[in-house]
Amino acid sequence: MRKLPLVATILAALLLTGASAFAAEAPGANASRPAAVDARSVIVVDMANGEVLYERDADLVIPPASLTKIMTMMVALEAVDSGRVGLSDRVLITRDDVTLPYRSSLMYLQEGMSVPFDDLLRGMAVISGNDAAKTVARVLAGSQEAFAGLMNAEAERLGLTETRFVEPSGLSELNTTTAREMAVLARAYILRHPGALGDYHSRTTMHFPREDVMPAGAEPPAIKILLQTTNKLLFKYDGCDGLKTGYIDESGYNLIATAERDGSRFIVVTLGGAGGPDSRTRSGAYLLDWAFANWKTVRPEAPDPGSARAWGGASETVTLAYANTPVFTVQARLAGSIRCRIEATAEVEAPVSAGTRLGQAVFTSGDVVVRRIDLVAAEDVALGNLFVRMRDALIRFFRRLFGG
């Protein structure tokens, strides 16, 4: 037993040293830049990792206008997912729901209508109905002010420091955001609710009002009424399936656009356009064209990273795993010849906690490093019993002694 101090000394001397933190090459290095577009603030990000491919004045604080409804949709769909409300639940429309200022964008709700909750979401997404947003807020929180509290709580969870809401429709100039934070919100929304693109945001028209929602005794419209989306990119841009337009005098013309082609998806945000809705559409299309022409999201083959010897552990080895899925966006010219090499420690000292960094996978295209992804312990490895620790310490001692 008197040899224990020696064993402890050997173990301490052979502890694995810490490795450097994750470092990824800047994706925009040496990439071409798009020409100026009609917007005060612009950002282009990839969907895969939310990396910024281009930005101009992306932190300028501007009212989001109806881009606000993306957060309203986020909070509403969270309520659906949690079971607080069902998509088929009928909502009785009140006088306050339809009391809105002149020139307000509407889905044409009427007092006394009985409208499925799903229709209200579609009314926000397709026609940007402020009446729909106001109704959703009342149903879920009792008032616009209380609902704005839910929106701001979600903004805080997402780390949005400049995004604040006072109401759910976007009519108020007191709602604030930035292009960068709108991109973060849009990506989080798509990740949480990927079905929303097909269910709501890619739809170009909706039929409303319908006979089944009319107030008791009221005649349905004499003709079928089709409300058309405000996002004209849905009609003319290949792969576009969202997301939202907005305008108030205080902000100008705003846009969040997203499109997917051949496994690459990009998000474009433009705030503060001055040239009108057609100019906003052209700006969004141009920036998406630039993204697809210059960038590609790749899913390269990723070799099994193997395992490391866990000295003194209850398990002899610890399995290595990729800290992040090897999916990332690179300049298009580098996308066709990506290789991966594993740089990982062969030995580690127990105990090991799951997630401990033990190396990295380095992805290259020719001589260019395009991505580094940490390799981490896939599971906990507890300290072994006294016999295991002494055995391993002696093995390592004699291995060092004899150079084996």
Q: Which of 185-199, 213-227, 363-377 has the lowest mean pLDDT?
A: 213-227
| 234, 342: one domain | no
pLDDT tens per residue, range 29-84:
567 899 999 999 999 999 999 999 999 999 999 999 999 999 999 999 999 999 99
> Which of these three, 297, 316, 336, is where a domain ends?
297
pLDDT at 403 over 80: no
Domain extent, residue 334, equals: 300-402
Domains of the chain: total: 2
- Closest CA relative to residue 100, chosen from 133, 142, 147: 133
Q: Given this model, what pLDDT does residue 30 score?
A: 61
In this prediction, residue 398 carries a pLDDT of: 84
95-152 pLDDT tens trace: 999 999 988 999 999 999 999 999 999 999 999 999 999 999 999 999 999 999 999 9
Do residues 254 and 41 make contact, with C-beta atoms less than 8 angstroms apart? no
CB 99 within 8 A of CB 87: no
Is the domain of 332 the same as that of 242? Answer: no
Say if residue 290 is in the same domain as residue 227: yes
In our burial notation (b when 16+ CB lie closer than 10 A, e otherwise), range 286-321 reads bbbebbbebbbbbebeeeebebbbbbbbebeebbbb
Asked whether residue 374 is domain-assigned, the answer is: yes
Whether residues 148 and 245 fall in one domain: yes
SS3 138: helix
Cα-based torsion angle of the residue sequence 215, 216, 221, 224 in order, rounded to the nearest 10 degrees: 80
Question: How much is the average pLDDT of 311-331?
Answer: 96
pLDDT digits (tens, 9 = 90+) for 250-282: 999 999 999 999 999 999 999 999 999 999 999
Residue 295: closest CA among 52, 35, 59: 52
Distances, alpha carbon 356 to alpha carbons 17, 316, 360, 364, 385, in Å: 12, 16, 12, 24, 22
pLDDT of residue 9: 34
Q: Do both 249 and 351 map to the same domain?
A: no
Task: Report long-range pairs for 153-161 (Cβ below 8 Å, ≥24 apart).
Answer: 154/71, 154/74, 154/75, 154/78, 155/71, 155/181, 155/185, 158/184, 158/185, 158/188, 159/184, 160/184, 160/185
Q: Note whether 224 and 151 are same-domain residues.
A: yes
Question: Residue range 325-344: average pLDDT?
Answer: 96
Query: How many Cβ atoms are within 10 Å of 395's Cβ, its own excluded?
Result: 12
Mean pLDDT score across all residues of the chain: 91
